[in-house]
Amino acid sequence: MEDFLEILKYILPSGVVFATAYFLLKAFLDNENRKKMLELKMANQTISIPVRLQAYERIILLLERISPGSLVLRVTQPAMTAFQLQTALIESIRDEFEHNLAQQIYLSSNAWELAKNAKEETIKLVNIAASKLNESATAVDLGSVIFELSARTEKLPVTTAIEYIKKEVRQLF
């Protein structure tokens, strides 16, 4: 029994020292791991933030290009019929959108949904305007109806999307 107590006198303090060293070393290594992860995250942000900003810029450009006013002015050509203009406008909207599909990776889900909604609503606006005209209408007639419908709309979906995206970009900084 005396031998057991003698061994216990050496083992017990050694166990306490070992446990203390283990927990201190574990805390230190966990802290170092957190620091490395934070450094990695910061390095990743220095790369990803410029890419995200570029994506936001491209989506804003897309939205500006598909806004009814700028779209009609950019696409309309002399001697076009209303049907030709309608087709060209819808094709232009879809081409612009498809050209920027990859940007959804860098945008929030809400921002991307608003951009998609703006595209669909603009196509809908063009189709509604075209349905109000007869078959002999010119591109100028269609453009006028599109401008009129846009003016009557309280807030165009394109405008809503642009405002939301600007707000989201401000939150990055």
Tens-digit pLDDT profile for the chain (173 aa)? Answer: 788 788 888 888 888 999 999 999 999 999 999 999 998 888 777 788 888 899 999 999 999 999 999 999 999 998 899 999 999 999 999 999 999 999 999 999 999 999 999 999 999 999 999 999 998 899 999 999 999 999 998 999 999 999 999 999 998 77
H or E stretch including 23? helix 2-66
CA atoms of 81 and 102, how far apart (whole Å): 34
Query: Within the chain, what is the greatest distance between any pair of CA atoms?
Result: 115
CB-count burial class (<10 Å; 0-12, 13-18, 19+) for 86: buried
Do the Cβ atoms of 157 and 121 come closer than 8 Å? yes
Predicted pLDDT at 62 = 96
CA dihedral 59, 63, 117, 163 (to 10 degrees): 80
Predicted pLDDT at 25 = 95
Q: What is the pTM of this model?
A: 0.75
- For 19-36, b where at least 16 C-beta lie within 10 A, e where not — what string? eeeeeeeeeeeeeeeeee
Predicted pLDDT at 105 = 92
Structure token digits, residue 18: 């070992």
